[in-house]
Amino acid sequence: MMSSDQGNDAIRPELAELFQRTAFGHDETRPEAVARRQNKNQRTARTNVEDLCDPGSFIEYGALAVAAQRTRRSEPDLIAKTPADGLITGIGSINGHLFGEEKSRCMIMAYDYTVLAGTQGHFSHKKLDRMLKLVHEQEIPLILFAEGGGGRPGDVDAAGVVIAGLDLTTFAKFGAFSGKAPLVGIVSGPCFAGNAALLGCCDVIIAARNSNIGMGGPVMIEGGGLGVFRPEEVGPMDVQTNNGVVDIAVEDDVEAVAAAKKYLSYFQGSIQEWQAPDPTPLRAIIPPNRRLVYDMKALIECIADVGSFMQLRPTYGPGIIIGFIRLEGKPFGVIANNCRHMAGAIEAEDADNASRLMQICNVHGLPILSLIDTPGFMVGPDIETRAQVRHVCRMFVQGSHISVPYFSVVVRRGYGLGAMAMAKGGFHEPAFTVAWPTGEFGGMGLEGAVKAGFKKELEAQKDPAAREALFNQLLGMLYERGRAVNMAAYLEIDAVIDPIQTRDWILKGVMSAPKSRAKQANLPFIDPV
């Protein structure tokens, strides 16, 4: 009889078969597919996953799946040409060197465009549903690489049991994960139909400049009788960044993965190494002439840790800047009026930006800093054609449901309903509302207040010079009344502070604010808008 340890160094046939099968899914065995990606300045899905995850941390689920086409193709051909059925799934660690492996575990789902153009097959859907069950149970962040198309009509093996496949649970389960943990979508290249439907459910979308994103691709468009279009003509990046679909635009796959790591880090916790900025420029950043503009991004960077500011949607709703920062390594969301666009008046798209940032931070437990310099909501017949009423009121609804610490700093103008919306609905709603000495306040813009409130007096002055002098006199009275120090004296704001104290006030505010958990948020999902 052979001893139990005899032949331990030999590779048994079943293990050799496993090695052979799994090798087909690796890039080394698919040089032509890799070359095609390189020719388009793209990486393979596996390379992206390897770059995203910490070395050696990724464990793959469902690697042995192939397309449901056994009745029309040989098994060796399917193994070689359709590895993992075009969807790489598993769990790995991201940013483990910063937060430890346990806190950095994430679910990764990556559609592989080199396999049947990234279409969604019978078994890849089954695999996706399995992973969605796990991620719902574990509530760890989910990162989706969404390059490819929709359903795959060529999976003939499923024809006997599937007619239209509209009873799938994939999209409902994916959408239901929103709010449980950060949900990040990454795309490089074409992303249509089913892939776009998953991508659009994500908290944020990171896209390379070669991306095209659309709910229907060229095949569906032509099939609907709407004409013949090339993929490059459907949802290009200049469209999808300006309309708010894409949150973070990057150059290529490498930058996309780096951006995903950075974005995810804000929700993984504090970091130990950080560098404080020089705050002294804050004292001079607001121009002495109250009608002049300044750079709000530069202001943010004089408050945040060096290099920590990450902006979302820079070309959509430019009147409100949104993104994430760190203060002494602690992550925050930031909302700030941009006086360089419409003088900081809040338009419909600006309100969408603010509301979206509020939702993300509230659901995932990040404190919010609001930097206020606005004359209020934009008004006029033209703006109302853009559903201004509905869009701007989202800020009041979202603000009233915020359970995370919220801090408001008025750096210059704090006028009307727009300023109240920036302050969570009112100046006494945040953990604190403070102003810089340059702060000025009023129930509406001061010029408009003079024109509306003193119309008769102004009209009584027939001499234009006298009328202008009276206007300036009345304006000066309102400006003096609405100065920051006067607002604080009447307790309508909590304090007036030296601008260089802003960072210290926020950090002390976080220490004092009640600690709420993301699960206590009243809005347990992220609105896709």
In the predicted structure, residue 528 carries a pLDDT above the cut 70: no
Name the DSSP letter for residue 463.
Answer: S
One domain, residues 86 and 157: yes
The answer to whether 302 touches 279, Cβ cutoff 8 Å, is yes
Mean pLDDT of 140-157: 91
With respect to residue 239, please indicate whether it lies within any of the assigned structural domains.
yes
The answer to whether 59 touches 107, Cβ cutoff 8 Å, is no
Closest residue by Cα to residue 423 from 327, 354, 482: 354
Length of the chain: 529
> Residue 95: which region, alpha, beta or left (left: phi > 0; alpha: psi -120 to 50)?
left
State the chain's mean pLDDT as an integer: 92
One domain, residues 99 and 238: yes
One domain, residues 362 and 459: no
Q: pLDDT at position 184, please?
A: 98
One domain, residues 382 and 508: yes
CA 333 – CA 300 distance, rounded (Å): 11
Could you tell me the two tokens for 66? 């192939």
With respect to residue 308, please indicate whether it lies within any of the assigned structural domains.
yes
Runs of H (alpha helix) within 156-305: 170-176, 193-199, 218-223, 237-242, 253-265, 282-285, 296-301
CA 510 – CA 508 distance, rounded (Å): 5
User: String of b and e for 139-171 (b: at least 16 CB within 10 Å)?
Assistant: ebbbbbbbbbbbbbeebebbeeebeeeeebebe
CA 49 – CA 257 distance, rounded (Å): 9
One domain, residues 74 and 194: yes
User: Which of 265, 293, 320 is where one domain is finished?
Assistant: 265
One domain, residues 493 and 468: no
CB atoms within 10 A of CB 13: 8
One domain, residues 255 and 174: yes
Contacts of 77 (CB under 8 A, 6+ apart): none
Classify residue 373 by burial, with Cβ atoms within 10 Å: 0-12, 13-18, 19+: buried
Closest residue by Cα to residue 521 from 375, 380, 358, 384: 358
Q: What's the CA angle centered on 343, arms 342 and 345, to 5 degrees?
A: 70
In the predicted structure, residue 412 carries a pLDDT above the cut 50: yes
Contacts of 238 (CB under 8 A, 6+ apart): none
Mean pLDDT of 39-45: 94
**Among 86-90, 157-161, 341-345, 410-414, whose mean pLDDT is lowest?**
157-161
- What are the distances in angstroms from CA 450 to CA 109, 119, 319, 348? 58, 62, 25, 26
Name the DSSP letter for residue 27.
Answer: G
Name the DSSP letter for residue 296.
Answer: H
Q: What's the CA angle centered on 289, arms 286 and 290, to 5 degrees?
A: 70
Q: pLDDT at position 1, please?
A: 46
CA 51 – CA 188 distance, rounded (Å): 15
CB atoms within 10 A of CB 452: 10
User: Which of 219, 237, 265 is where one domain is finished?
Assistant: 265
φ/ψ of residue 402, rounded to 5: -75, 130
With respect to residue 100, please indicate whether it lies within any of the assigned structural domains.
yes
User: Which of 265, 291, 326 is where one domain is finished?
Assistant: 265
Residue type, 377: F
**Among 14-23, 91-100, 392-401, whose mean pLDDT is lowest?**
14-23
**Among 134-138, 445-449, 520-524, whose mean pLDDT is lowest?**
520-524
Greater model confidence, 126 or 529: 126
Q: pLDDT at position 7, please?
A: 56
pTM above 0.85, yes or no: yes
Mean pLDDT of 210-225: 90
> Residue 457: which region, alpha, beta or left (left: phi > 0; alpha: psi -120 to 50)?
alpha
CA 426 – CA 399 distance, rounded (Å): 9
CA 112 – CA 44 distance, rounded (Å): 7
Closest residue by Cα to residue 170 from 135, 207, 138: 135
Instruction: Annotate 436-448 with DSSP letters as a single string.
Output: -TT-EEESS-HHH
| Span 276-291, pLDDT tens digits | 999 999 999 999 998 8
With respect to residue 12, please indicate whether it lies within any of the assigned structural domains.
no
The H or E element containing residue 388 is: helix 388-400
Domain that holds residue 47: 32-265
φ/ψ of residue 336, rounded to 5: -150, 135
One domain, residues 296 and 395: yes
Q: pLDDT at position 114, please?
A: 94
Q: pLDDT at position 521, please?
A: 55
With respect to residue 464, please indicate whether it lies within any of the assigned structural domains.
yes
One domain, residues 207 and 305: no
One domain, residues 256 and 287: no
One domain, residues 200 and 62: yes
Q: How confident is the model at residue 481 (pLDDT cuts 50, 70, 90)?
A: confident
One domain, residues 158 and 259: yes
In the predicted structure, residue 519 carries a pLDDT above the cut 80: no
With respect to residue 7, please indicate whether it lies within any of the assigned structural domains.
no
Cα torsion through 140, 142, 143, 147, rounded to 10: 160
- What are the distances in angstroms from CA 494 to CA 190, 427, 472, 484? 51, 9, 29, 10
Could you tell me the two tokens for 528? 């896709």
- Percent residues over pLDDT 70 in the chain: 95
Q: pLDDT at position 520, please?
A: 58
In the predicted structure, residue 160 carries a pLDDT above the cut 80: no
In the predicted structure, residue 393 carries a pLDDT above the cut 70: yes
In whole angstroms, how large is the CA radius of gyration of the chain? 28
Mean pLDDT of 49-64: 96
The answer to whether 380 touches 345, Cβ cutoff 8 Å, is no
Closest residue by Cα to residue 430 from 468, 398, 393, 399: 399
Q: pLDDT at position 445, please?
A: 77
Could you tell me the two tokens for 203? 């908290």
| Span 107-127, pLDDT tens digits | 999 999 999 999 998 999 999
HSE-CB of 141 using CA atoms within 13 angstroms: 27
SS3 call for 246: coil
| Span 295-307, pLDDT tens digits | 999 999 999 999 9
Q: Listing from the earlier edge strand, what are the strands of the sheet with 87-93?
A: 59-61, 87-93, 105-111, 142-145, 183-187, 204-208, 248-250
Q: pLDDT at position 308, please?
A: 98
Q: How many domains does the chain have?
A: 3
* CATH number, domain containing residue 261: 3.90.226.10
| Span 433-453, pLDDT tens digits | 999 999 999 988 777 788 888
With respect to residue 187, please indicate whether it lies within any of the assigned structural domains.
yes
| Span 165-196, pLDDT tens digits | 787 889 999 999 999 999 999 999 999 999 99
SS3 call for 83: helix
With respect to residue 19, please indicate whether it lies within any of the assigned structural domains.
no
